[in-house]
Amino acid sequence: MNLSQTLRALFVALAGVHAAGNTGEPLISAPGDTAIIPGWRLQSSTRVSDDMSGLSQPGADVSSWHHVGPRGTVMAGLIEDGVYNDMELFYSENMKQLDSETVFRSPWLYRQEFTLSPTDSQHFALQTHGITSKADIYVNGELIATSDEQQGSYGGHKYNLTNYVQDGANCLLIRAYPTNYLRDFAMGFVDWNPYPADNGTGVWRHVEISQTGPVSMSPFRVITDFNKAGQNQQVNVTLKTDLVNQAQKTVQVTLYGTISSPDGSQVGPITHSLELRPGENKTISIRVPVENAKIWWPARWGAQPLYTVQASALVHDKTMKVSDRTRPQQFGIRQVSSYVNEHNDRAFIVNDQPFQVLGAGYGPDLFMRFDETRVEKIFQYMLDMGMNTVRLEGKQEHPELYELADRMGMMVLAGWECCDKWEGWEYNDDAAGAKWGESDYPIARAAMLHEAEMMQAHPSMLGFLVGSDYWPNDRATEVYLAALKEMDWENPVIASASMRGYPEALGPSGMKMDGPYDWVPPNYWYGDKGGAAFGFGSELGAGVGTPEMGSLKKFMSTVDLETMWKEPAADLYHMSRYDSQFFDRSIYNQGLFSRYGKALDLEDYVIKCQMADYEATRAQFEAYSAHQNASRPATGSIYWMLNSAWPNLHWQLFDYYLSPMGAYFGTKVGNRLEHVAYNYETERVWLINHSLEQDGDREISIDLIDTNGKEISGAKVDTSTVPNSSKEIQQVSGINKIKDVAFLRLVLRDTKANRELSRNVYWLSPKPDVLNWDESNWYYTPVTDYANYTKLETLSPARVKARVQPVKAKSKDGLTYAEVQLENTSNVPAVFLRLNAVRSSDGTEIAPVYWSDNYVTLWPNEKLRVVVSFEGDITQTVIQVSGRNVEKQALKGSR
Ligand SMILES: *[C@@H]1O[C@H](CO)[C@@H](O)[C@H](O)[C@H]1NC(C)=O
Ligand SMILES: *[C@@H]1O[C@H](CO)[C@@H](O)[C@H](O)[C@H]1NC(C)=O
Ligand SMILES: *[C@@H]1O[C@H](CO)[C@@H](O)[C@H](O)[C@H]1NC(C)=O
Ligand SMILES: *[C@@H]1O[C@H](CO)[C@@H](O)[C@H](O)[C@H]1NC(C)=O
Ligand SMILES: *[C@@H]1O[C@H](CO)[C@@H](O)[C@H](O)[C@H]1NC(C)=O
Ligand SMILES: *[C@@H]1O[C@H](CO)[C@@H](O)[C@H](O)[C@H]1NC(C)=O
Ligand SMILES: *[C@@H]1O[C@H](CO)[C@@H](O)[C@H](O)[C@H]1NC(C)=O
Ligand SMILES: CC(=O)N[C@H]1CO[C@H](CO)[C@@H](O)[C@@H]1O
Ligand SMILES: CC(=O)N[C@H]1CO[C@H](CO)[C@@H](O)[C@@H]1O
């Protein structure tokens, strides 16, 4: 064997991931091994002695402690161990009972024993990734880190364990201190929901133990010089890693590794040799030219080819010995940049194309539990709704989230959170976070270094916002920027998500945070103030997201439900937190009742909510899409919010149980790749194109009918347009002839392929909503006169014939596909048809469920096919059909 073959053989033999051992097996045993602490015993410090040294010796009696998994907050652990039941806590106002629990005001202990067999020349380290709010760490009776250093939810540190580990049983004990969002660098919820009883305290991220020889290496940072797609693309990939020689003597080191291409072939090998003096550390940089590079694209624009790099550091002794190795790390080749345009608005570019952000704000689980398959479903929903970006506001989650985003083509806009310690600036009077002192800067630095290292190589990263409502002061900005630079952060860094101010070093953010967060009518989005469709809205929406009945009954008691529709201004525990502006639905309900009529009963309330929510999200995304290349372009919109941390009544596009609803399908229509939309302000029709490559001639049909199905106006337009742009087509005629309510149907067809690309129905009132822009505040714009949709309460009933038929799946996603054929057999429109899939055994909702379209309105005589896909069996499924003026029916699936 030559050197390269020897290296390869060594590499292959050691590449396997080490499984965490138990019962006497060493947790790790070879250099290059890393293991996650596989689980913990959890106990309140109030229930045990305060002899931490004794408790952190192997053999201490912890038989009465809770058993929990490898990562989780205190509440997550107590739920996992059966002390609490989350669905019980989430029901009605049950969770309030925990507010008086004093046990959450004292530290909690996480303890685990594991076996090691250290030998001379082997080095051991403990890696944390953040413990909320801060912690003391003991190993085998010794305090190895104090809460002065181990601080913050994102404080990741590596501690030298070499002198503390012993042959046989070892013990790790973590004392996690309680969390106050205003005092600590934690993960708060501001006004999103009631706070978890423990404020997220605990070992919410993994803790790892690693073993190396004399030389250790850091994860790779990956830099590519790709900036423009071309033929036979050649790209230089630069890999950087930090090596440390922990030995007392000089060592010869060879770095050996490979990059595997998306097609499985190998690029490389990577080799690099150097010498390290005793105690020396060095950052090495290896340039790897990649021929025919496969370019990574956001989901709508192309594929997500991913490369994987892995390497080992080998030391030359008598033989070559592995001293350390990296985990396989994904990266993608793509280019992301951003700038502030001539209107002072932030705009993004991905792979040389203007990238209009159509996104939403992510809510983690209330107890910070992370379920990768759940997040995958959430991202799948986002893609299904035509969204391309998820915003994480100070909830950076775990590496798996970024790997998912890479694989799925979802862009990620990460950043720090608002309204608490993170924004404790002298010039921030809006929030009560404790002002920063001398000791806070090192904590911020550690957090930034750690998160940057975790996110750096991921092609899904669109940018990092070092502030949210407020920008960091100059000193903190310098700390953040230095840490990002150290981690070779090449993606945009943005001062904040608002325009309140900025540090000199970063300049204006170009992002507006001017509301709304509460209900505004659809024409709001076509205005020229506040959150209307121009520039970049970093968090905004009409405050909608009412769950459907099946979900409401899971978390609201009969009394709660009555209160919700009978007392329009009542405080509701499942809205925002009690001290928030959004604790009741008064603004929403006033708009709802004025426009759609007072709720007659719960069912009536819920369908009215669904119609209003659908209208609201559709208009927001349509307006932003229509204005993508306007004279002041709408460069992006982040809907506030995507999902909720617990069962909630607003600020979401699907509910906690992953059931979609009106707000979901309004978004899905508004974001269509090619679409025709109605501008409520100008009464004109817009043609929208988000595509970069679909082609052909297009035809638009515009039809307006009254509630009796009688035609008011009709038009057909042939057109063509250019990619990633939108244009006005023409005025809808007959709007002035509307008596009570009319329906407008817009259809876009590809004439060559004879295919419908978009079909979409609006309900319109002769009376527009009138906004009082001058009275706008940070969360809404009042309305002085409302549109009138009360005629919808007294529509003539329509009859709809519906059939369900299984279809052979074209995709390999393993889902069951079925087609629902709808046919209106009456001479009036069938309005707002809701399709719902339930299990025939117990009537429970199937979720997630993907409908090609839903909440559709049919013209008299019109037939429509809708496709549904889900995990399950069509013969065990019932499709429920109901609508504004259509009687409920249930269709049994058959083969
Ligand atoms: C959680 O944090 C809030 C401040 O945001 C504080 O008022 C409250 O007391 C904290 N709860 C616990 C259990 O420490
Ligand atoms: C890669 O880097 C080398 C050395 O700097 C340079 O000569 C070459 O032009 C680069 N290739 C590309 C495609 O940028
Ligand atoms: C860890 O501690 C050991 C023993 O004191 C020392 O030899 C080694 O250099 C240290 N490692 C690092 C990375 O500081
Ligand atoms: C690397 O060396 C520098 C300068 O000697 C030192 O400040 C730094 O702490 C070292 N880093 C590590 C990881 O040992
Ligand atoms: C946007 O692009 C379309 C297609 O090129 C064009 O017709 C329209 O005028 C553009 N809008 C503006 C405001 O330039
Ligand atoms: C969208 O742009 C593509 C790419 O040029 C074009 O082929 C297609 O016809 C456009 N679609 C519409 C609705 O204009
Ligand atoms: C709303 O429209 C209905 C008819 O559809 C009418 O009876 C009612 O008076 C209108 N309400 C207002 C406030 O204009
Ligand atoms: C594919 C394509 O035509 N993309 C265009 C999108 O718009 C920008 C400028 O507005 C063009 O430069 C791109 O060519
Ligand atoms: C199939 C069917 O019954 N279609 C009916 C749809 O509605 C129109 C208008 O009333 C009828 O003429 C069609 O017969």
Query: Which residues partner with 68 through β-bridges?
Result: 40
Please say if the pLDDT value at position 8 is more than 90: no
Q: DSSP per residue over 829-860, as a string?
A: -EEEEEEEEEETTT-PBPSSEEESS-SEEEPT
Please answer whether residues 729 and 678 qualify as being in contact, where contact means their C-beta atoms are separated by less than 8 angstroms: no
User: How distant is the alpha carbon of residue 848 from its chain centre?
Assistant: 16
Distance 353 CA to ligand 8 centre (A): 6
Distance CA 209, CA 35 (A): 5
Distance CA 551, CA 561 (A): 12
Mutation test of ligand 6: which of 674, 688, 699, 724 has the most ligand atoms closer than 8 Å to its C-beta? 674
**Ligand 9 atom with the shortest distance to the CA of 861:** 6
What percent of the chain has a predicted confidence (pLDDT) above 90?
93
Q: State the pLDDT confidence band at 624, using cuts at 50, 70 and 90.
A: very high
Q: DSSP per residue over 175-233, as a string?
A: EEPP--TTTSS----TTSSPPPTTTT-EE-S-EEEEEESSEEEPPPEEEE---S--TT-
Please tell me the predicted confidence (pLDDT) of residue 23.
Answer: 59
Distance CA 806, CA 44 (A): 54
Please tell me the predicted confidence (pLDDT) of residue 1.
Answer: 44
For residue 828, what are the contacts with CB-CB under 8 A and spacing of at least 6? 707, 708, 709, 795, 796, 797, 798, 860, 885
Please answer whether residues 312 and 14 qualify as being in contact, where contact means their C-beta atoms are separated by less than 8 angstroms: yes
For residue 292, what are the contacts with CB-CB under 8 A and spacing of at least 6? 232, 233, 234
Q: Residue 766: count other Cβ atoms within 10 Å of its Cβ.
A: 14
Which ligand has its closest atom nearest to the C-alpha of 356?
8
Tally the residues of the chain. 895
Place of tokens 């989650």: 397
Confidence (pTM): 0.96
Name residues contacting ligand 2 (CB within 6 A).
225, 234-236, 289
Please tell me the predicted confidence (pLDDT) of residue 2.
Answer: 53
Query: ∠ CA(460), CA(464), CA(466), 5° rounding?
Result: 165
Query: Which residues partner with 217 through β-bridges?
Result: 243
Please answer whether residues 828 and 798 qualify as being in contact, where contact means their C-beta atoms are separated by less than 8 angstroms: yes
Domains of the chain: 3-211 (2.60.120.260), 215-331 (2.60.40.10), 352-494 (3.20.20.80), 522-794 (2.60.40.10), 800-892 (2.60.40.10)
The predicted-structure confidence for 820-854, as pLDDT tens digits, reads as follows: 999 999 999 999 999 999 999 999 999 999 999 99
For residue 582, give Cα distances in angstroms to 334, 531, 651, 654. Answer: 40, 18, 10, 19
Q: Which residues are catalytic?
A: 469, 539
485 three-state secondary structure: helix
Name residues contacting ligand 4 (CB within 6 A).
244, 281
Report residue 56: phi and psi, to 5°.
-95, 15
Comparing CA positions, the residue from 328, 124, 323, 119 lying closest to residue 209 is: 124
Q: State the pLDDT confidence band at 20, using cuts at 50, 70 and 90.
A: very low
Distance 286 CA to ligand 2 centre (A): 13
For residue 601, what are the contacts with CB-CB under 8 A and spacing of at least 6? 565
Distance CA 279, CA 506 (A): 37
Query: Which residues partner with 678 through β-bridges?
Result: 685
Which ligand has its closest atom nearest to the C-alpha of 431?
1
Which ligand has its closest atom nearest to the C-alpha of 751?
6
Distance CA 533, CA 842 (A): 44
Please tell me the predicted confidence (pLDDT) of residue 18.
Answer: 42
Q: Is the CB of 723 under 6 A from ligand 6?
A: yes
Please tell me the predicted confidence (pLDDT) of residue 694.
Answer: 64
Distance 691 CA to ligand 6 centre (A): 6
The predicted-structure confidence for 97-137, as pLDDT tens digits, reads as follows: 999 999 999 999 999 999 999 998 899 999 999 999 999 99
736 three-state secondary structure: helix
For residue 536, give Cα distances in angstroms to 356, 512, 515, 678. Answer: 9, 6, 12, 21
Name residues contacting ligand 8 (CB within 6 A).
353-354, 692, 723-724
The whole-number average pLDDT for the span 173-199 is 98
Please say if the pLDDT value at position 672 is more than 70: yes
Residue 19 identity = A
Report residue 476: phi and psi, to 5°.
-65, -40
Comparing CA positions, the residue from 777, 795, 785, 786 lying closest to residue 612 is: 786
Distance 406 CA to ligand 9 centre (A): 49
CA contacts within 13 A on the Cβ side of 258? 16
Report residue 565: phi and psi, to 5°.
-95, -20
Q: Is the CB of 182 under 6 A from ligand 1?
A: yes
